[in-house]
Structure formats: structure tokens, C-alpha cells
Amino acid sequence: MGEINEKQLASEYEKKIKDLFKERKRNSKSKSKKTKSKEYNIIGGKKSHKNRTRKHRK
């Protein structure tokens, strides 16, 4: 039973974090692109590879 509760709590926290990040992303347009991408990567985003390739092209 303990493991199930831990997994449930973890998933709930992940959802909350993702929702918070979505709101923050909408609100903060003053932030630089670098910090945004870093935050996105922390919360399991898939943008990391795309950003890397784009940086090399410039």
C-alpha cells in the first residue's frame, strides 16, 4: 500500500508542477529564451534536442 500511495503522490505533484509551469510560461515573456528552455528541460520537456540543433546552426 505504501508504494501505491507514493506513486500517486508523485504523479499528483508532477501534474501540479506542469500546470504551474504552463501558467508561468504564459505570464513571463520578459525571460530570455535560454532560461525558459532550461526550465522546460527540468520538467521533462522534449525541446532540448531541438534547441541544441538550432544553436549550432546560428
Binned at pLDDT 50, 70 and 90, residue 13 comes out as: confident
pLDDT at 12 over 60: yes
How many Å apart are CA 21 and CA 19, to the nearest integer?
5
Instruction: Spell out the alpha helix ranges (H) of the chain.
Output: 2-27, 33-42, 48-57
27/51 Cα distance (integer angstroms)? 21
Mean pLDDT of 19-26: 72
Q: What is the pLDDT of residue 10?
A: 81
Instruction: Tell me the whole-structure pTM to 2 decimals.
Output: 0.32
Mean pLDDT of 3-25: 78
What is the rounded CA–CA span in Å between residue 21 and residue 28? 10
**C-alpha cell recorded at residue 58:** 546560428
- Residue 11, pLDDT > 80, answer yes
